[in-house]
Amino acid sequence: MSITLTLILLAISLAAMVFCGWRGALPPHPLKVRMAPWRFLMILFAALIALLLIHLVQVGTGTASV
């Protein structure tokens, strides 16, 4: 994966993580059911960001295998 694609995915994941964190922090409405598990999605995007940062370091140092 190229460094450009990695940076694009990193920016998208960061924006999605912030959005999910904001939606998960909203106070619940007792009459509405949450259809998306916002906090869980925020954790998934944070894990993806960690993996993308590891990949970015590997590409930057030249130790990436593929």
Q: What token pair was written down for 61?
A: 């140092």
CB 36 within 8 A of CB 21: no
Side chain identity, residue 53: L
35 pLDDT tier (thresholds 50, 70, 90): confident
Distance CA 38, CA 32 (A): 15
User: Greater confidence, 34 or 12?
Assistant: 12
Predicted local distance difference test score (pLDDT) of residue 33: 81
Predicted local distance difference test score (pLDDT) of residue 47: 98
Q: What token pair was written down for 51?
A: 């993996």
Is the model's pLDDT at 38 over the cut of 70?
yes
Predicted local distance difference test score (pLDDT) of residue 65: 66
Residue whose entry in the numeric block shows the structure tokens 């995007």: 45
